[in-house]
Structure 1
Amino acid sequence: MPKSLMRKKRLLNKTGVIFMIIDGIGITLTYLLTIFALWVLKFPEFDHLRAFMFLPMIVIYKLLLYFFFKLYNLVLVNVGLDEIIKIIIVVCFSNLLIVIFTLSIPNFEIFHEFHFLFATMLELVFLISPRILKRLWNIFTSKNDYGNGRRTLIIGAGSGGKIVLNEVRNNPNFNNNVIGFIDDDEDKIGNLMSGYKIYGPISEIAKVIDRLDVEEVIVAIVNIEPQRFQEIINYFIDKPVKIKRLPSFRDYRDDVPDQILDVNVEDLLSRDIVELDTEGINDFLSGKKVLVTGAGGSIGSELVRQILKYNPSSMMLVDIYENGIYELVTELKFDFLKRNDKGIELFTQIASVYNIKRMENIVSDYHPDYIFHAAAYKHVPLMESSSQEAIRTNILGTYNMCKLADKYAVKKFVLVSSDKAVRPTNVMGATKRYAEMLIQHFDKISKTNYSAVRFGNVLGSNGSVVPLFRKQIANGGPVTVTDNNIIRYFMTIPEAVSLILQSAVFASGGEIFILDMGDPVKIIDLAEKMIMLSGLKPYIDIPIKITGLRPGEKLFEELLVDKENNIKTANKMIYIEQIDNTQDIEKETNELLNQYEELNNLGVKHLLKKFVSTYTVDEKE
């Protein structure tokens, strides 16, 4: 995807430089002709030589002023009525300043009043004419060069629509043939913008797509609300068209996004931008030493990215999977750290959380202020047949990290938990519930502040349903869904992680924070939307196959947030579950860890059931 839209660091593009040169020539000709006219008309008190001497200064002054007023931006190259008005105002203003300057100095009247009128009109001709010619040339070449390109309809006949149109016209990497706009504004519908008809309202877009044989739609409404965006897409999602959009605030990290983006399923499931107490998070993390386990995973890596923005003094990244850590560190070196001038130190260690000696070496050497414990096995079907490994990492690993946090006086310990821990029907969920119990136990016996954050599925995580569906669609199908009625709660990874950080600020000790995941999504609906977003038709171009529930898999996930019984926090998307683990599980943990390696898979499940009373064992092996 080309990266030329809304460039932040580039002051002038090639076209802007060309127009600055053209304007310099035009300004020079304007003042030469003005001087000549004043000489021919023999105006008294006119000093021709002094006027010639000041000509280079005037040209430089005007070019700098026009640059300051952004007359050389990419968008302004394709001049429209708004740009013409802006050019008129800027030229008049620049000449008025010259007149005021010369009149304010005694015996310095190098230009007569005639100069203001004549030079202004002449300069406007020299400045506006090349831009109009450029626009006519663009229209001519776009119709000839891109007439066979994708027939494109732009949603939004405002500033965003102009941005998209200019990008399509000027960027040779686009193969689009714009055929019109569509908008809800009744004053615009039926009129022309930049020579293209404006259709409407947007709710009729499906009919417009059929009538005009549209092949691509670009949503060009600046900072559109997620709900409105989803509403618009649903008007025509069943049409076999490619869908793109302008970047929104959700896409912003450290730099302004510089491209027109493909619409993906995350855009259709996302909600309002999460409101955070960024000042509170900054006070919490700034200048602190932070250790993240599972740092190479989907949640762990995003934790690292977001924590770095709040300027910790250093970070320790721990993971058993070397490739994940390597890819993350490489990304950070080329992205964040090369722009960071605050001296944040980044350390990495390849280690497993169930290796207590190895982890103690790391914690004792590093002495973190905070630990975010994201290391865990998460795939339900795999853990059903590998229950010993689930206990070793999810329970023993958490137990080890809790003990080390207590021993080395870590200030706060945050466990990344899962919705599968609620009345679990699988090994993974049962081990995560036990990990939550460990958190509450250690919070009672330690000066360290322990808490857990529980949430559901995150979009795009490694091995999750969204990347699986993408791969299946790319391979021509079938897309596999376990049941027609299966539903899940979804949240984007950045959204979940930002709420984890907010929960860590709220934590006073022993809480199990629950994130509001919104409304559940039917997986089969998700599959159908992903197929349609690819410009294909479900069941026709890409088949959908029902495969049956997998071992330990629930048809309906438990409702995470009970807004009547859960405790509200200062953030409307974070609640606290009112459960209190009063049992002393130190003895039980030792019993569990002493026995689990000696049992077969089913025996391990029954042992786990002994300590997690809400766990329902699947007897099938």
Structure 2
Amino acid sequence: IMGAGDAGAMIAREMRNNAHVGLEPVGFVDDDLGKHDVRIHNVPVLGSRQDIPALVREYKVQQVIIAMPSAPGKVVREVVQMCEQAGVQARIIPGIPELLDGRVSLQQVREVEIADLLRREPVQTDIGAVRALIRGRRVLVTGGGGSIGSELCRQIWRCGPAELILLGHGENSIFDIHNELRGSEPGMVISPESGAWSAQSPVLTPIIADVRFAERVRTVFEETRPEIVFHAAAHKHVPLMEMNPAEAITNNVLGTRNVVEAALAVDVEHFVMISTDKAVNPTSIMGASKRVAELIVHRAAQQSGKAYVAVRFGNVLGSRGSVIHTFRRQIAQGGPVTVTDPEMKRFFMTIPEAVQLVMQASVLGA
């Protein structure tokens, strides 16, 4: 186990208590010299990360678990490289943005992903203020089954809303996130009778609807009466929208107008639209459509005086519009890897980072 801190200790304890998983903790490695030669849950700290190759040979290690949720990507890359040189499998527990509840378990151990290798120092967000805003409120997420929308739903669910409304036009993706959240533990909610915190489950409402149909959107808002709206529904593939400009306009522009007008009609207090850096001096249909959508939200904020804001993303790792999927497929096929220009720079963030930015914007907008 790489990392003899709290996360590593939890992993070692679970291994000890669950022999059926077939994992035997040989020892810890940690760069903190003060932890060397001590035992944690009767598992010794054997050395530092530089000792991994020798320890793999000496103890016939088959797997190294990187248990450092706050470690930067540079450290993760170095450990993975050592494991590759030693011929041993490296696995990892998620980073801080994915561990909002602070719990670590063996079930979370997974393969090392690109996002782990690019991991930055955790961005400090005011989670307390976000929870205070969402807790006990009715929250609606458009595009709730998408890569960004579904992660938004997960993090909102942990904050204990009174009701979470999952709105999307793809039945399979809404079905998946609805089932996932039904099986997870929600946050605490306010009892309307006593005003005290209780562990009763918030209401989870899946709705199949297309934001392009104004009457349908208005009906949904009138029936559910959301207090906070996160608007994540959009078309975002740049080349595809160049070939289908009408779809980009009807979905990104008219769809946003329909959602904003429905929100104003039922007096939604907080509205956050997810936009893109491609809306800055747009050179594509997709970017232009998102810029117009931003202006619709901006006008609503000016006219109503309410907290209606837009958040621009860069390239989000793992999202359905990310170039990383294309790069991985090209590498798997043996290349070539196509880039816009040899000097092109891309600025990446992970899905959990992006979603925390969105949720923070809901507080800043207040």
TM range (shorter): 0.7 to 0.9
Once the two structures are TM-superposed, the CA of residue 453 in structure 1 deviates from its matched residue by 0.6
| Equivalent residue, structure 2, for 1:294 | 143
Aligned partner of 2:91 in structure 1 is 244
**What residue in structure 2 maps to residue 232 of structure 1?**
78
Question: Which structure is richer in relative contact order (CA contacts within 8 A, separation 6 or more)?
Answer: 2
Asked whether 1:429 is paired with 2:276, we answer: no
Q: Distance in 1 between matches of 2:13 and 2:34?
A: 20
Task: Give 1:474-489 correspondences, 5 Å limit.
Answer: 477-478=333-334, 481-483=337-339, 485-489=343-347
Displacement after TM superposition at 1:246 (Å): 4.9
Q: Is 2:228 aligned against 1:370?
A: yes
Per the alignment, do residues 213 and 482 of structure 1 end up closer, same or farther by CA in structure 2, a change over 3 Å counting?
farther
- Which of 102, 105, 112 is the aligned partner of 1:257? 105
Q: How does 1:7-406 map to 2 (within 5 A)?
A: 154-155=1-2, 160=8, 164=12, 167=15, 171=19, 173-174=21-22, 182-184=29-31, 198=46, 202-203=49-50, 205=52, 208=54, 216-219=62-65, 224-226=70-72, 229-230=75-76, 232-233=78-79, 236=82, 239=85, 241-246=88-93, 249-254=96-101, 255-259=103-107, 260-336=109-185, 341-406=199-264
- In the aligned structure 1, how far is the partner of 2:283 from the partner of 2:140? 31
Compared with structure 1, are the counterparts of its residues 257 and 251 closer, same or farther at alpha carbon in structure 2 (3 Å cutoff)?
farther
CA contact (8 A) 1:188 1:198 kept: no
Cα distance, 1:286 vs structure 2: 2.2
Q: State the match for 1:458 in structure 2.
A: 316
Give deviations 1:542-595, integer Å, cap 9, x for gaps. xxxxxxxxxxxxxxxxxxxxxxxxxxxxxxxxxxxxxxxxxxxxxxxxxxxxxx
Greater Cα shift, 369-378 or 285-294: 285-294
Q: Do the aligned partners of 2:12 and 2:25 also contact (CA within 8 Å) in 1? A: no
Higher gyration radius (CA): 1
Pairwise CA distance, 1:326: 0.9
User: Contact between 2:15 and 2:24, CA under 8 Å: does it hold in 1?
Assistant: no
Change in CA separation of 1:202 and 1:416 when aligned onto 2, cut-off 3 Å? same
In structure 2, how many angstroms separate the alpha carbons of the residues matched to 1:504 and 1:325?
Answer: 23
Q: Secondary structure at the match of 1:290?
A: strand
CA deviation string 1:31-76 (max 9, x = no partner): xxxxxxxxxxxxxxxxxxxxxxxxxxxxxxxxxxxxxxxxxxxxxx
Q: 1:411 to 1:486 in 2, by over 3 A?
A: same
- Using the alignment, how far apart are the partners of 2:308 and 2:205 within structure 1? 24
| C-alpha spacing 1:253/1:277, structure 2 compared with 1 (3 Å) | closer
Shift of 1:263: 2.2
Residue type of the partner of 1:232? E
Structure 2 distance, partners of 1:286, 1:186, is: 43
Whole-angstrom CA distance in 1 between matches of 2:205 and 2:259: 18
Go from structure 1 to structure 2 and tell me whether the alpha carbon gap of 1:487 and 1:481 turns closer, same or farther (over 3 Å shift). Answer: farther
Q: Residue 307 of structure 2 aligns with which residue?
A: 449
User: CA 1:182/1:404 → structure 2, altered by over 3 Å: closer, same or farther?
Assistant: closer
CA 1:204–1:368: 2 relative to 1, 3 Å: same
Q: Describe the superposition over 1:451-497 as per-residue Cα deviations: whole angstroms up to 9, x where unpaired.
A: 10111122222353445556667xx5335522255432121212211
Residues 210/451 of structure 1: CA separation in 2 closer, same or farther (3 Å cut): same
In structure 1, stretches of 5+ residues that fail to align are 1-153, 509-621
Give CA deviations for 1:3-36 in whole Å, capped at 9, x if unaligned. Answer: xxxxxxxxxxxxxxxxxxxxxxxxxxxxxxxxxx
Trace 1:594-609 onto structure 2 (pairs within 5 A). none
- Give the drift of 1:162: 10
Look up the SS of the partner of 1:487 in the other structure: coil
Counterpart code for 2:105: P
Residues 250 and 197 of structure 1: CA distance in aligned 2, closer, same or farther (over 3 Å): closer
Shift of residue 315 of structure 1? 2.5
| 2:2 and 2:68 in contact (8 A); partners too | no
**More deviation, 294-303/161-170:** 161-170
Taking the aligned partners of 2:223 and 2:9, their CA distance within structure 1 comes to 56
User: Aligned-pair distance for 1:165?
Assistant: 9.8
Please state whether the residue corresponding to 2:106 is helix, strand or coil: coil
RMSD: 3.8
TM-superposed CA distance for 1:267, in Å, is: 1.4
Question: What is the rounded CA distance, in whole Å, between the counterparts of 2:233 and 2:351 in structure 1?
Answer: 16
Give a deviation string over 1:472-528, Cα, whole Å, max 9, x none: 67xx533552225543212121221122111111115xxxxxxxxxxxxxxxxxxxx
CA distance in 1, matches of 2:333, 2:16: 32
Q: Go from structure 1 to structure 2 and tell me whether the alpha carbon gap of 1:289 and 1:466 turns closer, same or farther (over 3 Å shift).
A: same
Inter-CA distance 320–173: structure 2 relative to 1 (3 Å threshold): same
Deviation at 1:418, TM superposition (A): 0.7
Tell me the amino acid that sits aligned with residue 412 of structure 1. H
